[in-house]
Structure 1
Amino acid sequence: FSKKRTASEMAIELKPDYALAYYNLGYIHQDEGRVEEAIDCFRKASDHDPNDADTWINLGNALRSAGPNRLADAVDAYKKAVEVDPKSVMAFYNLGSGYQDQGRLDDAIKTFQSALII
Structure 2
Amino acid sequence: MTDPTHDSEQERLNAWLERRHEQQFRESLLRGTQLLSQRKPVDALPFLERAHKLKPDNPDAALNLGGAYIMTGRHKLAVSVLERAVARTPDNAQLWINLGAAYLGNPVTATDERQQRALAAFNRALEIDPLARSVAYNIGLIHRDRGEIELAIAAFRRAVLADPYDRDARRMLEKLGAP
Identity of aligned residues (%): 32
How many matched pairs? 118
Asked which structure has the greater CA Rg, the reply is: 2
Aligned to 1:102: 146
Higher helix share: 1
1:51-62 pair list within 5 angstroms: 51-62=91-102
Partners of 2:52 and 2:128 lie apart in 1 by: 24
* Letter paired with 1:4: A
Structure 2 residue runs of 5 or longer lacking an equivalent are: 1-40, 163-179
The runs of at least 4 consecutive aligned structure 1 residues that moved more than 4 Å come to none
Cα offset, 1:92, TM superposition: 1.2
Calculate the aligned-residue CA RMSD, in Å.
1.9
TM-score by length of structure 1 reads 0.84
Q: What is the TM-score with the length of structure 2 in the denominator? A: 0.58
Distance in 1 (CA, whole Å) between partners of 2:145 and 2:89 is 28
CA shift at 1:2, angstroms? 5.5
Deviates more, 1:21-30 or 1:58-67: 58-67
1:47-88 deviations in whole A, cap 9, x for unaligned?
Answer: 232222222122112211252131100110110111010112
Q: Which runs of 5+ in 1 are unaligned?
A: none
Q: What secondary structure is seen at the aligned counterpart in 2 of 1:88?
A: coil
Give the letter for the 1:95 counterpart: I
Select between 2-11 and 81-90 the one with higher mean Cα deviation: 2-11
Asked if 2 retains the 8 angstrom alpha-carbon contact of 1:59 and 1:77, the reply is yes
Match of 1:12 in 2: 52
Match of 1:41 in 2: 81
The AA in structure 2 aligned to 1:57 is: I
- Distance in 1 (CA, whole Å) between partners of 2:42 and 2:141 is 31
